[in-house]
Structure 1
Amino acid sequence: MSHTEPDLRTVHVVRYVTPLREGGSLPAIVEADDGFFYVLKFRGAGQGVKALIAELVAGEIARVLGLKIPEIVFAHLDVSFGRAEPDEEIQDLLQFSTGLNLGLHYLSGAITFDSLVTTVEPLLASQIVWLDCLITNVDRTARNTNMLMWHKELWLIDHGAAFYFHHSWQNWQEQAKRPFVQVKDHVLLPQATQLEEVDAAFKALLTPAQIQAIVALIPEDWLTGDSPFASAQEHRQAYALFLETRLNHTEIFIKEAQHARKALI
């Protein structure tokens, strides 16, 4: 499992390849100046930069914990990019997304995880359920697993729905201590029999220093504008405090997950 400091590259988008028409955010496959393809999450779409922050923080937490996540990069869109795009909806999206966006390395040939086809071992299932309880990720259900099989390994994608409290920041200190009741719908909950063992291992990995390093990655201009905080630094530290508080009270979401699992079996 990784103990290295997170370090994200910045690439420049050179070609819009094709939209991925899933949900309302219209992510797209793009080519960057490093020659690689990325699934681009746009700052001008849907939930805006909040979804990008969730994607960034959740993804890098997963990486620290040793779970498989496509490489995350900052993807810069030039102001002139997309002017020749014939689709007006996409053209508007590109224009509203000038500046830093978020890209995930495109896993070419990957297939959507299907729980009826692939059995996930209890340890890995418990690790993923634990992660999603920590980050309050509501989007790992049987209907929308947000997992891919690539080279016979399970990869986690699409964490933009995590940290749902940050869309209003109301009572966020209290929300950090709340159980994650949506775990009852988690696609891997039936196999998650080792939550307590995972809890001890993961809390040893996800130290306050690691959390601080991850939230430090959030770009300044993603934390300004429509913000309830006096400064970007105060906003950034609220994410760190939420995570540190939640890590100090993991028994709350573990008990909720165990109770929900017993109700299923």
Structure 2
Amino acid sequence: MAENTVEIRTVNVTRYVTPLREGGSLPAIAEADDGFMYVLKFRGAGQGIKALIAELIGGEIARTLGLKMPEIVFANLDTAFGRTEPDEEIQDLLKASVGLNLALHYLSGAITYDPVVTKLAPQLASQIVWLDALLMNVDRTPRNTNMLVWHKELWLIDHGASLYFHHSWQNWKEQAVKPFVQIKDHVLLPQATLLSEVDAGYKAILTEERIRAIINLLPDEWLATDEQEATVAERRQVYADFLITRIASSHIFVKEAQQHAGKILI
């Protein structure tokens, strides 16, 4: 996308279909008033709104870089929703998630990416490793790849475990220039042999204007609920500055990934 305007649709959840009992966040398949099915991520679950923030930022950066992501939408949950839900745990989750949540278009029939069955080309593997090193995404491992194969193409999902600096705002400047040591556990690292080439191209795409356009998607209400004393504008600025700084210093996390990849290949 060459332009620096990004838009996210808003839908209203009309039907809770079934929980996806994966991890502690308890996402669900739900239907919205546009007639489509979505994987709904709840503001009242797990890491709460910060996971939704990471999901939105990570997903839209991935899309900007040309990687395949299901459409992300804002999903409104009404106070009356879920009153008939018999499961007490789910009912509590729904009550805690009234308001604006996040959802990804449901890829019906998709299968989980299996690195044993499918080997990715070095270019695509390097692109995904670079993205996850930028975002500090700890959740793309052989145990949990968070990638799907749909219509014979690879799709990325679930960036909620990214940007963990925002769980402790005080040292974000240090975090922005740190190597990402956990990249050693990335499922695609052995195939990521073109990181230097990918780095040059991706830095050209992720301009400051593009990053700010993505950060501006964050709803004010998501940025106003933190316990820290900071304004919405200040918090938005930190997200933008963190990513802009990290992209400018990408040689640090690229070098870290290449070192670990070299150890795997030896």
TM-score of the two chains, using structure 1 as the length reference: 0.98
Task: Provide the C-alpha distance between the structure 2 equivalents of 1:230 and 1:185, rounded to a whole number of angstroms.
Answer: 34
Confirm whether residue 53 of structure 1 aligns to residue 53 of structure 2.
yes
- Which residue in the other structure is 2:132 paired with? 132
AA in 2 matched with 1:20: L
Query: Which piece of structure 1 moves more, 160-169 or 227-236?
Result: 227-236
Identity among equivalent positions (%) equals: 69
> Where does 1:118-157 land on structure 2 (aligned, <5 Å)?
118-157=118-157
In structure 2, the residue matched to 1:181 is 181
Distance apart, 1:11 and its partner CA: 0.1
Deviation string, structure 1 residues 136-188 (Cα, Å, up to 9, x no partner): 00000000000000000000001000001111223110110000000000000
2:11 partner letter? V
Measured in 2, the distance between the counterparts of 1:235 and 1:170 equals 12
Deviation of the 1:6 alpha carbon? 1.6
For 2:211, the equivalent position in structure 1 comes to: 211
> In the TM superposition, what is the alpha-carbon distance from 1:229 to its structure 2 partner?
4.4
User: Partners of 1:3 and 1:131 in 2: how far apart?
Assistant: 19
TM-score by length of 2: 0.98
Who is 1:110 aligned against?
110
Q: Distance in 2 between matches of 1:147 and 1:17?
A: 22
For 2:170 and 2:161, the matched residues in 1 are separated by: 17
- For 2:25, the equivalent position in structure 1 comes to 25
Q: In the alignment, what sits opposite 1:247?
A: 247
Corresponding residue for 1:3? 2
The one-letter amino acid paired with 1:127 is Q
Count residues with an aligned counterpart. Answer: 264
Q: 1:190 aligns to what? A: 190
| CA deviation after TM superposition for structure 1 residue 126, in Å | 0.3
Structure 2: stretches of 5+ with no match in the other structure? none
Q: Aligned partners of 1:167, 1:149: CA distance in 2, in Å?
A: 31
Q: In the TM superposition, what is the alpha-carbon distance from 1:226 to its structure 2 partner?
A: 2.1
For the residues of structure 2 that align with 1:54 and 1:153, how far apart are their CA atoms?
Answer: 24
Partner of 2:89: 89
Distance 2:241 2:229 in 1: 14
Partner of 2:263: 263
Gapped regions of structure 1 (runs ≥ 5): none
CA RMSD of aligned residues (A): 0.8
The answer for the alignment partner of 2:225 in structure 1 is 225
2:170 match: secondary structure: coil
* Amino acid in the other structure paired with 2:201: A
- Residues of 2 paired with 1:252 and 1:188: CA distance? 19
